[in-house]
Amino acid sequence: MLFIITGTLIGTDIISLPSKASENSAQNGWISIIVGAVLPFIMVILIERACRLYPDMTLIDIVKTSLGKVVGTIAAVFFILFASYITIVVVRVFSEIAKLYLLPETPIPVIALTEIIIVAYVTIKGVKTLARLNEILFYLLVFSILMILLPSIKLFDYTNILPVGNIGLLPIIKDGINTSFSYAGVDVMLVFYTLTGKKDEVMKAGIIAVAAVMTIYTLITAACILSLGSEAMQKIMFPPITMIKGVSLPVIERPETFFLTFWMVLTTKPAINYSYCACFSTARLLGVNIEKNAKYILIPYCIIILAGASIFKDIIQAFEFAGIAGILFFIVGLGYPLLILITKYLFKRKDRRID
């Protein structure tokens, strides 16, 4: 569960987050990353508490039990659409950045189709393959982060991060709210809780995952502020890539290309994990076995994802829709567990009155 949550949390947003984090809080942007993690930590606790009430039931079964057949079905469909929407946004942003930096002559639909094929392959292999892939890519993530940070140390100007806290609390909180969208992925716990065998460790895994991602985001944001300065970052769409361009490595001629190659592999994880959530939930809603009927669900699903990823005009519009995805993340990550907990509490009170 730890690797799945971490793998879902870190995606395309990692290369644009530093400029977002310092928009109002300037050189204190790294603090806003920490502030932004507060709500995701709360989500982990709420989701674990809600799923603990129904340990052997899937999300689809839980919402039907908690909210009734009609409202529960609507909630189930909304979650499937939400997971699909996240996948569409991730695939399009991935395709845009890959085209911009690595594959300028390749059409967007071709890049998107390539990622969708990878997503479909892992999804059809099942949850065990998905879990192993997330674990392998986690260690690759650690390596790629070190590849960014260690060579960049010589670019650091420590006056860029001073003075600390002078901007005031309000700008930091404002940027903290914006950066909290970058923790989207905690909500996959709603689906994967029932699939894990160690349910008593889910809370611990979720908290460690959010803490690990918070640390990674904070280090990258601080490194960008130290090397580029907060004012310069507001004029740069992807600060980490710009920072890496200033690094010279003895073996690698273009370190930013090397990093982006790793990044392309790593950012398939959110698309894979959310796709599995959507397909697994669809199978449960239809009352069919996901393993036996995966291809019948995946084929139309992948067509929808490819069509959806082709709608956006450009990368700017793709990031605008990514902002909507962040809002939906809060609706699902906070709304669903709260509804489950509240309805359970109300049913308990009703039963006591009847007794």
Closest C-alpha among 212, 96, 235, 219 to residue 148: 219
Per-residue pLDDT reduced to its tens digit, 266-320: 778 899 999 999 999 999 999 888 878 888 899 999 999 999 999 988 888 888 8
Residue 353 pLDDT exceeds 60: no
Average pLDDT, the chain: 88
Dump the DSSP string for 175-235. HHHHHHGGGTTGGGHHHHTTT-S-GGGHHHHHHHHHHHHHHHHHHHHHHHHHHH-HHHHTT
Q: Can you give the pLDDT at residue 355?
A: 45
The pTM for the full model equals 0.91
Give the whole-number percent of the chain exceeding pLDDT 70: 96
Cα separation of 33 and 95, whole Å?
Answer: 26
165 Rama sector, left if φ>0, alpha if ψ -120 to 50, beta otherwise = left
Cα separation of 10 and 140, whole Å?
Answer: 12
Q: Measured between alpha carbons, how far is residue 100 from residues 107, 144, 175 in Å?
A: 11, 20, 27
Per-residue pLDDT reduced to its tens digit, 314-326: 888 888 888 888 8
**Cβ distance 119 to 301 under 8 Å?**
no
Residue 153 pLDDT exceeds 90: no
Q: Can you give the pLDDT at residue 349?
A: 58
**Cβ distance 344 to 119 under 8 Å?**
no
Per-residue pLDDT reduced to its tens digit, 161-220: 988 888 888 999 999 998 998 888 899 999 999 988 888 899 999 999 999 999 999 999
- More confident: 131 or 151: 131
Domains of the chain: 2-354 (1.20.1740.10)
